[in-house]
């Protein structure tokens, strides 16, 4: 198997690349990443010299380059993660999201189609998408223990995206399914809930708050902090992708979720107590950093995934409880403050220059 993973220098991609490189020494793993601000080759230092791993810098929108890459590396399988992924950035810069997420996915699909040329035997195109394509759920049981509502996103839930990010991911999902239905390409689409864990870029809620608690900076909470997200530890996502890529029914969609709904404010309070405890600070010392700020435009109220199809068909379920995963994550950021500092100072971009070295 010559497996192309796109976006492998990002958060989820780097976990997935590491997982596949270690688990499948007989595969050749080709990591294609443009190294935007979100890509960071230091996420992969521990596996970069493995025999079965190759990094290539490239833009998925570069159709000619994608065609060359399929030919040169005789690609049989694709797991496509490369994307612009941050909702707030999509609100200020929607064009970049349409370009990468829609045109980039289309370029990759077309390159795969041309190279495979109708021979679908042992081929797979697995597109990594998000629960945000389904829109937002009601928060009709806001008090007490989760779940905070009576409805869940299922594979049959109608698409109803609200942000430029989710609209671009929805469009890309439609293109992937169209390549299955029109040309017979063996595709898979997975829609996953919020991931967290080591190596997440500190613009997303959890790493941003860890970084700000460390620095004693304000923790910006959009609106009242009542919005609900369904959190999944990133390594559980990687296990799910592995299962679905190898054993899922082509043409199908699978939802992946943590069955672990949390209000944002509860996540931030737990982060504060975890960071302060691990640093030996007095309990509650950083509570005053909580700062309510203007709500995100079009802010989806609640996400909650029903991943029972994946459980029933392939036997997957999340293995990491949120409290445990969050503590592991906080410990990782405390032990890897140089990683964070490299991002805040911009020094991590030096790896981008190094990545140009011809191999």
Active-site positions read 131-132, 165
CB 205 within 8 A of CB 225: no
237 lies in the site for ligand DAU, by CB under 6 A: no
Tokens of 332: 């990782």
H-assigned helices in the chain: 11-23, 63-73, 87-92, 94-97, 104-116, 164-183, 205-215, 234-247, 264-278, 308-314, 322-335, 337-345, 350-354
In terms of CB distance, is 30 or 304 closer to ligand DAU? 304
Of 234, 247, 134, residue with least CA distance to 186:
247
CB 201 within 8 A of CB 343: yes
36 lies in the site for ligand NAD, by CB under 6 A: yes
Query: 233 - beta bridge partners?
Result: 196
Of 199, 334, 357, 228, residue with least CA distance to 278:
334
| Residue number, nearest CB to ligand NAD | 10
Nearest-approach distance from CB 192 to ligand NAD, in angstroms: 4
Contact string (CB under 6 A) for ligand DAU, positions 112-131, x = contact: ------------------xx
Judged by beta carbon distances under 5 to 8 A according to partner kind, the member of ligand DAU, ligand NAD, none in contact with residue 264 is: ligand DAU
- DSSP output for 148-170: -SS--B-TTSPP---SHHHHHHH
CB 120 within 8 A of CB 186: yes
In terms of CB distance, is 104 or 325 closer to ligand NAD? 104
Nearest-approach distance from CB 301 to ligand NAD, in angstroms: 17
Nearest-approach distance from CB 303 to ligand DAU, in angstroms: 5
In terms of CB distance, is 107 or 264 closer to ligand DAU? 264
Distance CA 27, CA 23 (A): 9
Nearest-approach distance from CB 333 to ligand DAU, in angstroms: 15
Of the candidates 105, 187, 193, 274, which one interacts with ligand DAU according to CB under 6 A? Answer: 193
Residues that bind ligand NAD (CB under 6 A): 6-7, 9-13, 33-36, 38-39, 59-61, 81-85, 100, 104, 128, 130, 169, 192, 194-195, 201
């Amino acid at each position: 198997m010559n497996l192309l993973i796109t976006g492998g220098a990002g958060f989820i991609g780097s976990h997935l690349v590491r997982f596949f490189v270690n688990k499948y020494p007989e595969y050749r793993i080709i990591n294609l990443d443009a190294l935007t601000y979100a890509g960071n080759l230091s996420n992969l230092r521990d596996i970069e010299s493995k025999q079965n791993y190759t990094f290539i810098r490239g833009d998925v929108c570069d159709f000619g380059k994608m065609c060359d890459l399929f030919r040169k590396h005789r690609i049989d399988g694709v797991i496509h993660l490369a994307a612009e992924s941050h909702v707030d950035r999509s609100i200020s810069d929607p064009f970049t999201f349409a370009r990468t997420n829609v045109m980039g996915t289309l370029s990759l699909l077309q390159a795969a189609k041309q190279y495979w040329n109708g021979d679908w035997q042992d081929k797979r195109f697995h597109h990594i998408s998000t629960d945000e394509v389904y829109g937002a759920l009601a928060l009709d049981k806001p008090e007490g223990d989760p779940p905070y509502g009576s409805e869940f996103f299922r594979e049959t839930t109608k698409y109803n995206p609200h942000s430029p990010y989710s609209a671009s991911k929805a469009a890309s999902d439609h293109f992937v399914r169209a390549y299955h239905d029109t040309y017979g390409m063996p595709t898979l689409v997975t829609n996953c809930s919020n991931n967290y864990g080591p190596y997440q870029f500190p613009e997303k809620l959890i790493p941003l708050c860890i970084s700000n608690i460390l620095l004693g900076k304000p923790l910006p909470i959009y609106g009242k902090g009542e919005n609900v997200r369904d959190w999944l530890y990133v390594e559980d996502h990687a296990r799910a992708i592995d299962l679905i890529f190898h054993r899922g029914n082509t043409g199908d969609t699978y939802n992946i979720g943590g069955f672990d709904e949390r209000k944002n404010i509860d996540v931030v309070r737990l982060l504060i107590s975890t960071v302060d405890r691990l640093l030996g600070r007095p309990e509650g010392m950083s509570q005053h950093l909580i700062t309510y700020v203007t709500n995100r435009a079009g802010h989806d109220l609640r996400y909650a995934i029903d991943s029972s199809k994946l459980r029933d068909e392939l036997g997957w379920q999340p293995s990491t409880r949120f409290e445990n995963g969050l503590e592991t994550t906080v410990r990782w950021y405390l032990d890897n403050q140089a990683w964070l500092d490299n991002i805040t100072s911009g020094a991590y971009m030096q790896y981008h220059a190094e990545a140009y070295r011809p191999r």
